[in-house]
Amino acid sequence: MNYKDIAERIIELKNADLEFRDKLVESKQLGEGYNAEMAKIHDENAKILNQIIDTIGYPTVDKVGKEASEAAWLVIQHSIGQPDFMKKSLKLLEVAVDENKASSIHLAYLTDRVAGFEGKPQIYGTQFDWDEDGELSPKPFDDLTKVNQRRKSIGLNTLEEQTEIIRRQAKIENQSPPQDFGKRKQEIEKWKKAVGWTK
């Protein structure tokens, strides 16, 4: 079954998200906490995509095409203020990957994303944040050798290579580390509690 209109709608959601992100990059505001306007876009996108998923199930390539399926994943990945939706999507994506209808790389990123917010170690080392030395580093993970084996098994580069790429990208986008690492950590914990990631 072809959901052409739905596919176009999902792509529109992604474009609205990325256009606003580009504005933040241009104005050098990307690294300055979670922008309120961006949070609003992410929440609104999650709400619309959730309705779509309730209608058609997970937006797999066979339903909406490659571009819209990737766009759906990006919207889910950015729905950080909606833990229930993100966790629900993760379960659906696991099933889709089992059925060879979705990307195992997308699943790796979303698995790590949820783990990070729940305070659990990453499995694939896909999520990064500023460390105390003002460097972007992978969020906690279980074991470097195992992480690199898992990454290789789904076609990803090594964690060391990815760390270099992420740090280079941050420089290109003029991202700078938080001025007060401790304060930022507290703010993140407070936010996680407020949106329901932690109790």
| DSSP single-letter state for residue 155 | T
Closest CA relative to residue 197, chosen from 86, 112, 44, 72: 86
Confidence of residue 1 (pLDDT cuts 50, 70, 90): low
At residue 176, the pLDDT reads 85
- Tens digits of per-residue pLDDT, 138-188? 999 999 999 999 999 999 999 999 999 999 999 998 888 888 889 988 999
At residue 31, the pLDDT reads 65
Query: What is the spatial distance between Cα 100 and Cα 115, in angstroms, rounded to a whole number?
Result: 23
At residue 26, the pLDDT reads 85
pTM: 0.93
Q: Contact 53/92 with Cβ under 8 angstroms?
A: yes
Confidence of residue 199 (pLDDT cuts 50, 70, 90): confident
Asked which of 55-59, 101-105, 183-187 is least confident by mean pLDDT, the reply is 183-187
Close Cβ partners of 2 (under 8 Å, ≥ 6 residues apart): 63
| DSSP single-letter state for residue 197 | S
Residue 17, pLDDT above cutoff 90 = yes
Q: Which pair of structure tokens corresponds to residue 21?
A: 């992100």
- 3-state class (DSSP) for residue 25: helix
At residue 44, the pLDDT reads 97
The phi and psi torsions of 128 (rounded to 5 degrees) equal -120, 155
Residue 32, pLDDT above cutoff 70 = no
Confidence of residue 61 (pLDDT cuts 50, 70, 90): very high
Confidence of residue 29 (pLDDT cuts 50, 70, 90): confident
Query: What is the spatial distance between Cα 191 and Cα 89, in angstroms, rounded to a whole number?
Result: 21
Computed over every residue of the chain, the mean pLDDT equals 94
Task: State the DSSP string of 77-134.
Answer: HT-TT-HHHHHHHHHHHHHHHHTT-S-HHHHHHHHHHHHHHTTPPBSS---EEE-TTS
Confidence of residue 2 (pLDDT cuts 50, 70, 90): low
